[in-house]
Amino acid sequence: MARPVTLFTGQWADLPFETIAEKAKTFGYDGLEIACWGDHFEVDKALESDSYIQSRKDILARHGLQCYAIGNHLVGQAVCDHPIDERHQGILPSRLWGDGDPEGVRQRAAEEMKNTARAAALLGVSVVTGFTGSKIWHTLAGFPPVPPKMIEDGYQDFADRWNPILDVYDEVGVKFALEVHPSEIAYDFWTTHRTLDAVNRRPAFGINFDPSHLYWQLVDPVEFVHEFAPHILHVHVKESVRVLNGRNGILASHLAFGDHRRGWNFVSPGRGGVPFEPIFRALNTVGYDGPLSVEWEDNGMNRDQGAPEALNLVRRLDLTPSDVAFDAAFASTK
Neighbours of 41 (CB within 10 A): 27
Reported confidence tier of residue 100, pLDDT bands at 50, 70, 90 = very high
From 164, 236, 235, 237, select the one nearest 204 (Cα to Cα).
164
Reported confidence tier of residue 118, pLDDT bands at 50, 70, 90 = very high
Q: 252-295, pLDDT tens digit by residue?
A: 999 999 999 999 999 999 999 999 999 999 999 999 999 999 99
pLDDT of residue 58: 98
String of DSSP letters for 90-126 = HHS-HHHHTT--HHHHHHHHHHHHHHHHHHHHHHT--
**Dihedral, CA of residue 241, residue 243, residue 244 and residue 249, to nearest 10:** -90
Chain center to CA of 291: 12
Neighbours of 31 (CB within 10 A): 22
Q: Which fold has domain 5-330?
A: TIM Barrel (3.20.20)
Q: 166-195, pLDDT tens digit by residue?
A: 999 999 999 999 999 999 999 999 999 999
pLDDT of residue 45: 98
| pLDDT at residue 327 is higher than 70 | no
The CA-atom distances, in angstroms, between 37 and each of 5, 262, 320 are 21, 28, 34
Cα 145 from Cα 214, distance rounded (Å): 26
What are the domain boundaries of the chain?
5-330
| pLDDT at residue 329 is higher than 90 | no
Neighbours of 187 (CB within 10 A): 21
- Does residue 277 sit in helix, strand or coil? helix
DSSP letter for 199, please: T
For the chain, percent of residues with pLDDT exceeding 90:
94
| pLDDT at residue 160 is higher than 70 | yes
Q: What is the average pLDDT value for the chain, to the nearest integer?
A: 96
The CA-atom distances, in angstroms, between 45 and each of 14, 40, 275 are 19, 11, 40
The phi-psi region of residue 2 (left if phi > 0; otherwise alpha if psi is between -120 and 50; otherwise beta) is: left
pLDDT of residue 325: 66
